[in-house]
Structure 1
């Protein structure tokens, strides 16, 4: 009788352990946490493309800009299609990036800012069994990138370099996302996670200026291509159903 009770107890504990850590086919989960975006940025020199409606191709040598890192809150929703394959939708509160001058623009410091939107769809492969507490994974996906609230905020830069009030626009694009990370289940429904992603991202910033010149105010357009290539870390806590 005692042996039977012991075997029953061990089986019950095994079932409890399986229930506590299962991330199997049909599991739906949500996470929230903190994104840190660290651009590996550089830019092409500023090029004046037109002045007063006439095309030009004047490149300003030794000019450029880079982006500071940024932090924001993130959210994901995912679904295990099989015991090892999950799809995940990722969205964050748009982080604000400050644009810093480089080269001859460096003395001006912060030139402007913009907010980045990058909703992402990931496909992830989880290693280990669905009953394991620790599950590393690799992911691949696609992100739609665009910017809002682009603006030049440095008055000295506006007056001495662009020579007038300036509006900014940027390209939007689809970009691949390379992802790796792990989750650790510490309760039946709750888990924590860490992931690192890389996006080979670049955008063209286009500037339109009402430039003050010796012959009056002329519309000038200029542009620069900025490489961001951010490395994105995500520390999170999640709940699964």
Structure 2
């Protein structure tokens, strides 16, 4: 987890860098769905096709408006759980946490009923609790952590002076190196689309 420290420190500095006013901060919660792309690469010199399934968890967003248009957002979630199949056979179950820090631009004013927004930033994916089964039962499979870029597009719906809802889509570059009994056998290219529906409040 020590490799996550620079990202968290940078986000904390950005969030704290501007003077605070009422309504600058937000917290959001709702459903977040991680949908890896189809065909997640091949391992062992192309002999093993990797396919990773989708999962939905509780997503959380903490953010702050730096100006009326610019904001910084930190996406977190409860642990996602996925199954990786090798040549169609269930092989590895694993969990991951994908904290993502994004700089966002919101169109329109804060009183607008609907505000489109765009975001770009960096993701750190921490992979853990690998559980081998099927063709790799009894072996040790390790999926390494990943750093990558993230892009976002969404809509903010104003519900009241302090409450709002958001719907957004992110693309995240996640590439995890795979080791079998300590030997690297390739890279799983996850590169998911991440869908979120959240309700939030400003303070």
TM-score when normalising by structure 1: 0.71
Partner Cα distance (1:87, 1:80) in 2: 7
Alpha-carbon distance between aligned partners in 2 of 1:236 and 1:64, rounded to the nearest angstrom: 35
Q: Aligned equivalents of 1:228 and 1:182: distance in 2? A: 25
- Residue range with higher mean Cα deviation, 112-121 or 77-86: 112-121
RMSD: 1.8
Count of residues paired in the alignment: 182
User: What's the CA shift for 1:101?
Assistant: 2.2
Choose which of 190, 197, 201 in structure 2 pairs with 1:235: 197
Structure with bigger gyration radius: 1
Match for residue 99 of structure 2? 119
**What runs of 5+ residues in structure 1 fail to find an aligned partner?**
1-23, 47-58, 160-164, 209-219
Within a 5 Å distance, the mapping from 1:20-169 to structure 2 comes to 27-40=24-37, 41-46=39-44, 59=45, 61-102=46-87, 106=88, 109-154=89-134, 157-158=135-136, 165-169=138-142
Deviations 1:64-83 (A, max 9, x none): 21100111111111110000
- Runs ≥4 residues deviating over 2 A: none
Q: Secondary structure at the match of 1:166?
A: coil
Distance in 2, matches of 1:127 and 1:201, equals 28
Residue 101 to residue 83, structure 1, CA distance change in 2 (3 Å): same
CA distance in 2, matches of 1:42, 1:173: 15
> For residue 202 of structure 1, what is the aligned residue in structure 2?
175
Residue 11 of structure 1 is matched in structure 2 by: none
Deviation, structure 1 residue 120: 1.0
Q: CA deviation at 1:191?
A: 0.7
TM-aligned CA deviation for residue 118 of structure 1: 1.0
Provide, for residues 174-219 of structure 1, a one-character-per-residue CA deviation record: whole Å limited to 9, x for no partner.
21100000110111211111000001221111011xxxxxxxxxxx
CA distance in 2, matches of 1:85, 1:73: 25
Structure 2 unaligned residues grouped into runs of 5+: 1-20
Aligned to 2:3: none
Give secondary structure in 2 for the equivalent of 1:42.
Answer: coil
1:169, distance to aligned residue in structure 2 (A): 1.6
TM-score, structure 2 as length reference = 0.84
8 A Cα contact 2:174 2:190, kept in partner? yes
